Structure 1
Amino acid sequence: MKFKTLALMGLAAVIGAGALGWQSLDKETRGFLAAFPTNRDLLFWSTSQRDAAFRALDRLPFLAKHRVVPAGAMPSPLPPGPPLALPLDVDAYMQGQRSAALMVVHNGQVRLERYGIGFDSQGRWTSFSVAKSFTSTLLGAALRDGYIKSMDDKVSDYIAEMKGSAYDDVSIRQLLTMTSGVAWNEDYDDPKSDVAQFNNHKPDDGVEAVVSYLRKLPRAVPAGTRWLYSTGETNLVGVLVSRATRQPLSSYLSTKIWVPIGMEQQATWILSKTGQEISGCCLQAATRDFARFGQFILNGAVVNGQPSVPDGWLQEATTARIGIGQPGRGYGYQWWTYDDGSFAARGIFGQGIFIDPARQLVIASNANWGNNATDPTASAAREAFYVAVQQAVDAEAASRQ
């Protein structure tokens, strides 16, 4: 995604005298300002600039505004368990990932929790596309609450500005599975791609920015016939949920998830230039709360014995609805799926929540991959780490028999 360019005048205002003086800013924000690139967007910042930015985006209102997701008064416990014996060097793995945080929760107990690159348990790290799985879950909640009638309703039933566009006849189910058939370019290395350009689009008067951008895109193939990864479409899901519930996504997230399941810290959600949460990205939260969300999904999205989503919906959401061209992998409702029944939320630069129901396992990761947004070497190492944790859990179980 793109953020506004920081003008020198804006920088001077932030570090000037008074309440917003340099000394009043926290260490992470000062580090970000010291390294900030005045004329480039996030996808093309240096590693050190991203190190500073990923923990501070919500403390820089001149860069991007946000809404707070309030937490409740009583955090849910994450009790410690015995250290998990892993068949690898965790320190070396974290160094290779440029890991900010790594947590393994097994049977509801924290079996591993470590931090790196100057980050800690009290900080918030940006999610990137891990937010997509939160947005999907909020749509499931809106179905349960009756705000949305059916997964087969059309997008334009809820977003009237999409009538007459390529999205007019796209169903909510197709939007969630990214099978709309509408053209989109998600190349993070291309500064002219849709994912790099859409947030700088000048929206039509009175129209939400992402709606204004997406309704101009052409149809490439018939709806339902092709999977194509599109952050823009998840942003459209967020608009749809906000329209249906008649409230900001951050408020609905707090009401349905953040407070009921006992998150320990407030979260923040970055907004578009027209004031809508960028729902395909940019939810800032503590790593322990990302792990709590994974545990919530692992437990069936149930709060106090009451389901948060319709019966059977979560099973559909976390199993393959469409193939993605990789053996053993698929895509559900904004979740990446594996044929063994596990599934994951994934974000660029190394963010992730991996969930394995068979092993009662949640792995939460935050990182800043040094090479590029989708670094294949780092991605493969993370997949290997998931397998190593599964093997360690299996070995532990076998030793008790």
Structure 2
Amino acid sequence: MNLKQLKIPFIILSLIIIVAAVIYNQNNKKAQEFKDAMAMKNQEYSFIHMDKYLPTKKVKKADTPFIFPRVNNITLPENFSHNGTTYNTLKYIDSSYTQGFIFIQNDTIQYENYWRGQKEDVRHISWSMAKSYVSALFGIAMEEGYIKSIDETVETYLPELKGSGYDGVKIKDVLQMSTGIKFDETYSDLNSDINRYWQGFITGKSQDAFASTLTNDIPPGTYNHYVSINTHVLGMIIVKATGRSLTDYLEEKIWKPIGTEFDAYWLADGEGMEMANGGLNACLRDYAKLGKLYLQKGNWNGKQIVPLSWFEASVNSTEEHLQAESKNSSSPGIGYGYQWWINDGNEGEFMAIGVFNQHIYINPTTNTVIVKNSANNNYYDQNNPYAQTLVHLELYRTLAHLNH
């Protein structure tokens, strides 16, 4: 072999090394930029500008929007109490770094306000409130015959997950966060599984591939353990079964039918797969419309959008390990359904909940929907009452009972 023959492979190899180095440096730069954006001091900006950092897919608004009737903002109650401690309402809203807050009762906006950069037409990331949208889409896909039964196992639809921790796990257990998947969802721990997932997502890696790496350490269907990747698996099933993207399916089946006022967008990975577990970004009143839809048991102006039987199963804790008081749950004090949180009490309340205190609160007894968007700098200190879900819940209950 002469020198000329050796030269071409050497040039190709050099080019490959150069391209790989460029991609590596770009990924490192992107990861660092996103890490900076997610720093507590920057979250107020980042949570309403996620499209500046990550790829997105647009969810188009309704052709004819539904506009909530409204009154002039009421005066909020001065105080509310939780476990014997009294909190000033306005201070609580401020100290939990609220960006958007809306209180709707009897289909009428009683109070709507914005802070810290959010406005009525500014989209805010949902974080895990998105899980409740995925649940609704799953029920619709079942009603349309794409998915036969939640007693089927995951690999029935996703053979690529054979051999993973999801192999042999019933879809029902995925819906109920009871897969037994070994997963650490500690956002404040840079070495946790959720942050390992994020590191891959922000550099464009496949979420599907990440799901295939997870293992199982608890028998499925016995313990309620919150694992965000469970919702991604539900998204994978919807996409595989329907042949539609989550963006298209959401737009057609829910977003347009409920009269949304604004376009939304969904964050996506490098393969174009939506971040099912928390990547939906929307405006406050449009989040409230999911609340209205579920307040009406999945019905919108006489049309059953989410099947009634699915709605009822979604917002009830059935098995023992899903109960608020169960010792077989990693979330004491609150129950779980199909990607909805079930509040302890006798008023049928339930919530969509996202990290840093994103909430859709629904109380069918008082005909109330409350939505809160936040960028809570206290969030990693779960001893801080301004970060605790159960203290927020008492604020919402106080509002729900103002006229009852």
TM (norm. structure 1) is 0.83
Deviation of the 1:129 alpha carbon: 0.7
* 2:334 maps to 1:329: yes
Counterpart pick for 1:268 among 236, 240, 265: 265
* 2:362 maps to 1:370: no
Please tell me the root mean square deviation across aligned C-alpha atoms, in Å.
2.7
Kept after mapping to 2: 8 A contact 1:210/1:236: no
Partners in 2 of 1:241 and 1:366 — Cα distance?
Answer: 27
Deviation of the 1:130 alpha carbon: 0.8
Kept after mapping to 1: 8 A contact 2:385/2:391: no
* 2:128 maps to 1:129: yes
Partners in 2 of 1:160 and 1:43 — Cα distance?
Answer: 38
Q: 1:355 to 1:190 in 2, by over 3 A?
A: same
* 2:250 maps to 1:253: yes
Kept after mapping to 2: 8 A contact 1:128/1:280: yes
Deviating more after overlay: 311-320 vs 83-92: 83-92
Partners in 1 of 2:24 and 2:283 — Cα distance?
Answer: 30
Counterpart pick for 1:78 among 61, 68, 76: 68
- Unpaired stretches in structure 1, ≥5 consecutive residues: 1-5, 11-35, 203-207
- Unpaired stretches in structure 2, ≥5 consecutive residues: 1-22, 80-87, 324-328
Partners in 1 of 2:31 and 2:181 — Cα distance?
Answer: 34
* 2:82 maps to 1:92: no
Aligned residue type for 2:350: F
Kept after mapping to 2: 8 A contact 1:355/1:363: yes
Deviating more after overlay: 187-196 vs 304-313: 304-313
Counterpart of 2:313 in 1: which secondary structure? helix
Partners in 2 of 1:73 and 1:326 — Cα distance?
Answer: 40
- 1:176-195 matched pairs, under 5 angstroms: 176-195=175-194
Aligned length: 361
Q: 1:258 to 1:187 in 2, by over 3 A?
A: same
Match of 2:48 in 1: 55
Q: 1:381 to 1:172 in 2, by over 3 A?
A: closer
Partners in 2 of 1:312 and 1:43 — Cα distance?
Answer: 44
Kept after mapping to 2: 8 A contact 1:199/1:209: no
Deviation of the 1:367 alpha carbon: 0.8
Match of 1:283 in 2: 280
Kept after mapping to 2: 8 A contact 1:133/1:335: yes
Larger radius of gyration: 2
Q: 1:374 to 1:318 in 2, by over 3 A?
A: farther
Partners in 1 of 2:277 and 2:46 — Cα distance?
Answer: 18
Q: Percent identity?
A: 29
Partners in 2 of 1:385 and 1:216 — Cα distance?
Answer: 36
* 2:293 maps to 1:296: yes
Counterpart of 2:401 in 1: which secondary structure? helix
Aligned residue type for 1:152: D
Match of 2:5 in 1: none
Deviation of the 1:199 alpha carbon: 4.0
Partners in 2 of 1:197 and 1:391 — Cα distance?
Answer: 39
Partners in 2 of 1:299 and 1:186 — Cα distance?
Answer: 32
Counterpart of 1:312 in 2: which secondary structure? helix
Match of 2:356 in 1: 349
| 1:112-139 superposed Cα distances (whole Å, 9 cap, x missing partner) | 1111112211100011111111111110
* 2:110 maps to 1:111: yes
Kept after mapping to 2: 8 A contact 1:199/1:272: no
Match of 1:223 in 2: 220
Deviating more after overlay: 374-383 vs 298-307: 374-383
Aligned residue type for 2:398: Q
Deviation of the 1:177 alpha carbon: 0.7
* 2:237 maps to 1:234: no
Aligned residue type for 2:48: R
Match of 2:397 in 1: 390
Kept after mapping to 1: 8 A contact 2:103/2:109: yes
Q: 1:388 to 1:215 in 2, by over 3 A?
A: closer
Deviation of the 1:232 alpha carbon: 1.0
Kept after mapping to 1: 8 A contact 2:298/2:308: no
Counterpart of 1:254 in 2: which secondary structure? helix
Kept after mapping to 1: 8 A contact 2:174/2:230: yes
Deviation of the 1:93 alpha carbon: 2.2
Partners in 2 of 1:127 and 1:326 — Cα distance?
Answer: 20
Match of 2:317 in 1: 320
Counterpart of 1:104 in 2: which secondary structure? strand
* 2:340 maps to 1:338: no
Match of 1:29 in 2: none
* 2:354 maps to 1:361: no
Partners in 1 of 2:35 and 2:362 — Cα distance?
Answer: 28
Deviating more after overlay: 75-84 vs 233-242: 75-84
Partners in 1 of 2:120 and 2:231 — Cα distance?
Answer: 28
Deviation of the 1:320 alpha carbon: 1.4
Counterpart of 1:377 in 2: which secondary structure? coil
Match of 2:7 in 1: none
Deviation of the 1:392 alpha carbon: 4.4
Aligned residue type for 2:32: N
| 1:256-293 superposed Cα distances (whole Å, 9 cap, x missing partner) | 11100100001000001221001001211001111111
Aligned residue type for 1:178: M
Deviation of the 1:339 alpha carbon: 2.5
Kept after mapping to 2: 8 A contact 1:183/1:220: yes
Aligned residue type for 1:275: G
| 1:214-263 superposed Cα distances (whole Å, 9 cap, x missing partner) | 22222202111111111111111111111111111011111111100100
